[in-house]
Chain A
């Protein structure tokens, strides 16, 4: 290593350090030097040293003119500078020496893509006396110019920019234009604008970095009360306080207030606005003793003591005493046979396993509760939606049974009430069974849930252990909820022993009500319950914590702050071990300390959602609503997260897959992941993956196929994918990971078949069937020893295989067969197996499949152009209507035969299919939304359906009745007189219909229009004539329902979004805003309709002959196709809107290809017309584009050719249009388009 190279390395290094120092010293105003920062700089130092020694070891460098890379760069930069200066001297205005150039002293570095380009910017700098750096260097560069920054750079802005301003290129341009150097501040990169450091983060970050020097001064400033606690707390507390106080010492400008502030810090209630609340300390000091009653006080104090080292303060003292007692073996328990507790030798193992599983009980309890109290909760659904919660005095009650699992078991053993009792599935003294619940006397011994029986017995030798008694639990839980439902109609079940009540609307003092409820619970169940009352769910739950056992606690809003300030963070719901550790690393132990951290930095450190939650919870804010059912607008709790949820659902349109929830709050509930519908939770989970996938897909399309989706197209593409994915988002299954030991294959098979029984029962219990089966096996690792936990699974490899069957099933035998196959594919030694699980996914609702639905109900929400889906959709609709009328068979029949139906079907069949077609027509008149809504309607449970019906003022039932009436009529003759009105309506539909159907049915329909007959019309036309009638009927139902669902959401959206959505659904908008135009077709005079029909018929004949299919916005074909009765044409029209209404065909075709190709042929009637019109459409399009955009045509035809491989119809269309295209290309370009099939 030569001396020279080392030195140059060093000097380079040193200059870097200088840079840093100067950065931090001169940019105090706009930067926040943090300790994090310091760390990174140290790291780079180390790396630099390493690299310097590495480079010097490469001796070859010594021979080259540059001793190493560093000196090469120095030289290069020097040359570049010289070049630049030379150029500058020639190109600048130069001569006007008296005027100082604009960019004197400015030196820019351009990062990444900019408009104008870096070269142009360089030109400006040349001309106007600035400097342009090719390589970033803190020393020379004064401004960084860029239009866009990647996220990683934003996050590490400081290390990227070294504190230099990051400015948009517009700054330079406008400075040139103004002929003077403008301030760069307004041109700062937008991405950074919200990244400005805040005062609060400045404090919090500064704190730890400067604390050491000041620590000695600190304790004396702590006020007496805090000292009191910190004495017991010990050193950790001391250092904390000193750290907090330190920064204030260092900042003289606020030193006068520092005493107050420190006081406040000691109470850990410093809020972001530090200086504003100097009066607070005294309030806090007296708050604790006076506001909380004696018992509470002690517990709060305990918290205070323990908050810095152990959350379970109540127990800890006892714990120490008792831990010394060595447990003597208890005589109460006899040695149970090992055999019966493993799969060995117990044929009913699986059954017993689940019988004895508490988790299983809790899991299945929810279903039970739903069934039992469904009617109740439904009942208040309707009523409570009208109730506006008054914002000022909401009262939420949290009712929790005291050690439920124990107290229920011992309610018949009063003598055990004060003895330590625990519940556990096994009471083997040496056992490694885990205690699932212990009563308060037992907890005094330090016994906790999750503890091994062995250890518990050691702590408390006379601990009485009971097995579970699930019947009793069910009974008590039911009684418990009966009491709750008696007293409030807004009940939200959390678990079998825990619930929230919204008692805002109840008369009287909530505290009195609480005691009443507790009394009743005790009387009926002989078990005690505790109640917490507060203004929201969070505080109510926390209050219960204070209230326990067998007590009640009310936290009025004004005491929330005090209550929280000393609360250990661990107590807050949602803060688990991991989060707690992270927070403790930041010296946050209590909610009060948590409150000092700004929301921004919380969100930065813990993510948006968690950060938000922490911020809210530490302030006692909680916007969840009991029972999830509330009016949305005007609700006081509809705060930021709520509106955020609304915006997000709005932007992404995710309310489609989320389903029919009419209240946006529900979306958000499920977003939080704890409440709300399961499926919605899943959808939220899928969302990010789906988005990324779509972006990736689009990126590929852009770079490899050269086609781009507009933003709007992309949105709906994304939605489609989301729908598809959310179909598979749910699974039902069972897993056994304890006690699994097999002797031989027969054992294993036996076990599997029992597992299948269980899974099958669960499937049936949930009312679903599944198509994908996943068998998971835990296999002992080779070197794994026998697990510590008795019969546990120990260290295992997780293996899984899965298979998908075409038809969904919940049948035990099928399950067993599949599982056996799957198991065989593992090729395992059964003795190594430690756990087995069977998961069933791709679930479909049993009810739906009974009606003939072949797919999951979600699938039918796909408003895609998939012919299959649409067909299903309409079939379902038909099926539903008919089944609601009590004739399910009819629907079934339709469904089964629809695909293959042709001309010669029965009248009834025809009428049904045409009903389906009617749906279609109306679908194309309406926006795609109505598909969704139909799907929603269809998949609604009866109760919900009736509820909806009520909301829509009974229209739903009317509709069904009407349809029903019509269907019946068609079977007889058509009595014209009574149905005059319907016919009137129908004629309008016909007109529209025929305009695209051209040939076949013109004559009979025209006859009808003129004569108003309805005698022996040929069945086909008769059926068709009803199409429009029902179709039109539906149009007036569905949009109105949508407008109700949607506008609620729409109103909350920002203006641009609203416009965007409305544009996206133009037809829908029409429905919403001018309901009278279409809603009452029956009112239109018959004569008028007659003439219209005639007009349209004549029009329909010649519109294809004109060259005007592509004229107008939207092009004429869109409207024609919309009202066509051909599925494929409908789809095209629909896709026109979905693809962003660009007027180009290729995005439309592309959308179709992205949905489903192989089902395009799934229709029979109107084949010829469809083909003819498609060909015409394409020909006109070719004519339109051939001169200017051969690429577009090329893309379209390649897509068509791809369709042709899957679809009969498109083969024909392609074969007809292709020669025409080639001829035209030959004419214009003197060649043929290259369309070979090889690619």
Chain B
């Protein structure tokens, strides 16, 4: 709590955002049934909302470390999108949950936690009822968290950043179909969550 006081507005925004992303990504993974539901437990964790929390330490650590690894980069406003991508066995994306992020770097005044958390909270609520918008995934799918940077960070900047490696995820040939889930826009921060599906004309794998 104390570290709050001596942080820049962007730092504070990024911290809130990252905490949110952890919750949201866990919810997505839960929503898609990537693991048996026993792997999750309901916790009154995030902004007093019941959210899923991974039980398995490795899963939890993966999400946590990956997202917190983004913290310094988000703070600099360099992350454009963060996506949870589900692949089939051939490594072709089937469904992508995309968080489009925009941190206002010139925002100067103090960030009130509640001002951001309440709109973000509604993402989680919306997510929990969005299953019908998603697709049934094929068997043996994999998933990963991918971040799209506006520019590549210097490798030496931070230890956390080094965990991020360039990825060669296969892309769709056609522009995908978007289904927006939720958007928020406030002065310090804009977040949009939408699902991408391969377009109907996309050749079937």
Contact = CB atoms under 8 A, between A and B. Distances in A.
B73 interface: no
Interface stretch (A319-327, A402-410, A963-971, A1186-1194): A1186-1194
A119 B45 contact: yes
Given A119-B44, A1191-B192, A1231 B175 contact: yes
Nearest to A1228: B100
A703 B129 contact: yes
A256 B180 CA distance: 76
Contacts of B197: 1234
A147 to B, nearest CB: 10
A1234 B48 contact: no
Nearest to B122: A706
A119 B102 CA distance: 30
B190 interface: yes
B177 to A, nearest CB: 4
Q: Which of A117, A703, A704, A1234 has the most chain B CB atoms closer than 10 A to its own CB?
A: A1234
A115 B48 CA distance: 8
Contact of A118 (B44, B126, B177, B199): B44
A1182 to B, nearest CB: 13
A1189 B177 contact: no
A1230 interface: yes
A1225 B100 CA distance: 13
B177 A1234 contact: yes
A1145 to B, nearest CB: 14
Given A115-B48, A704-B129, A1231-B196, A1192 B183 contact: yes
Contacts of B177: 1231-1234
A1226 interface: yes
Interface string B186-199: 00001010101101
Nearest to A116: B48
Interface in B2-59: 44-45, 47-48
B190 A1190 contact: no
B45 A1188 contact: no
Nearest to A704: B129
A1189 B183 contact: yes
Contacts of A1232: 175-178, 199
Nearest to B126: A706
Contacts of A1167: none
Nearest to B117: A115
A693 interface: no
Contact of A1230 (B114, B176, B190): B176
A113 interface: yes
A1019 interface: no
A1229 B183 CA distance: 14
A114 interface: yes
B181 interface: yes
B185 interface: yes
Nearest to B181: A1191
B201 to A, nearest CB: 10
A113 B48 contact: yes
Contacts of B89: none
Given A117-B47, A117-B48, A1232-B199, A1190 B180 contact: yes
A1191 B183 contact: yes
Contacts of B180: 1190-1191, 1193-1194, 1233
A1188 B48 contact: no
Nearest to A1225: B178
B158 interface: no
A757 B199 CA distance: 66
A1230 B196 CA distance: 10
A1234 B185 contact: no
Given A704-B129, A1226-B175, A1230-B175, A1188 B47 contact: no
Nearest to A1195: B180
A909 B95 CA distance: 60
Nearest to B45: A119
A119 B43 CA distance: 11
B60 interface: no
Contacts, number: 66
A36 B22 CA distance: 50
Contacts of B182: 706, 1191
A115 B114 contact: yes
Interface string B119-134: 0000001100100000
Contacts of A1188: 102, 183, 185, 190, 192
Nearest to B48: A117
B194 A1190 contact: yes
A1233 B177 CA distance: 5
Interface string B157-182: 00000000000000000011111111
A118 B49 CA distance: 11
Contacts of B48: 113-118
A105 to B, nearest CB: 24
Interface string A1217-1238: 0000000011001111110000
A1233 B47 CA distance: 31
A1231 B114 contact: no
Interface in A680-727: 703-704, 706
B170 to A, nearest CB: 15
Contacts of B194: 1190-1191, 1229
B192 A1190 contact: yes
Nearest to A1226: B175
Contacts of A1192: 183
Q: Which of A116, A1190, A1231, A1233 has the most chain B CB atoms closer than 10 A to its own CB?
A: A1231
A706 B114 CA distance: 20
Contacts of B100: 1229
B179 A1234 contact: yes
A708 to B, nearest CB: 9
Nearest to A1230: B175
Interface string A1174-1214: 00000000000000111111100000000000000000000
Contacts of A1226: 175
Contacts of B45: 119
A390 B134 CA distance: 72
B182 to A, nearest CB: 6
A1190 B178 contact: yes
Nearest to B199: A1232
Interface in A105-134: 113-119
A706 B48 CA distance: 20
Contact of B178 (A113, A116, A119, A1234): A1234
B44 A1189 contact: no
B16 to A, nearest CB: 14
A114 B114 CA distance: 13
Q: Which of A119, A1190, A1192, A1233 has the most chain B CB atoms closer than 10 A to its own CB?
A: A1190
A704 B125 CA distance: 10
A1231 B98 CA distance: 12
A1192 B192 CA distance: 11
Given A1188-B102, A1232-B177, A1234-B179, A117 B192 contact: no
A1188 B193 CA distance: 11
Nearest to B176: A1231
A1194 B195 CA distance: 12
B185 to A, nearest CB: 4
A258 to B, nearest CB: 53
A1229 B126 contact: no
Contacts of A118: 44, 48
10 contacts: A113-B48, A703-B129, A1188-B183, A1191-B183, A1191-B194, A1225-B178, A1232-B176, A1233-B178, A1233-B179, A1234-B179
Interface of B: 44-45, 47-48, 100, 102, 114, 125-126, 129, 175-183, 185, 190, 192, 194, 196-197, 199
Given A1189-B192, A1229-B178, A1231-B199, 4 more contacts: A1191-B180, A1226-B175, A1229-B194, A1232-B176
Interface of A: 113-119, 703-704, 706, 1188-1194, 1225-1226, 1229-1234
Q: Which 8 A-B pairs have the closest CB atoms?
A: A1191-B183, A117-B48, A1234-B177, A1231-B176, A1188-B185, A1191-B180, A1194-B180, A1189-B183
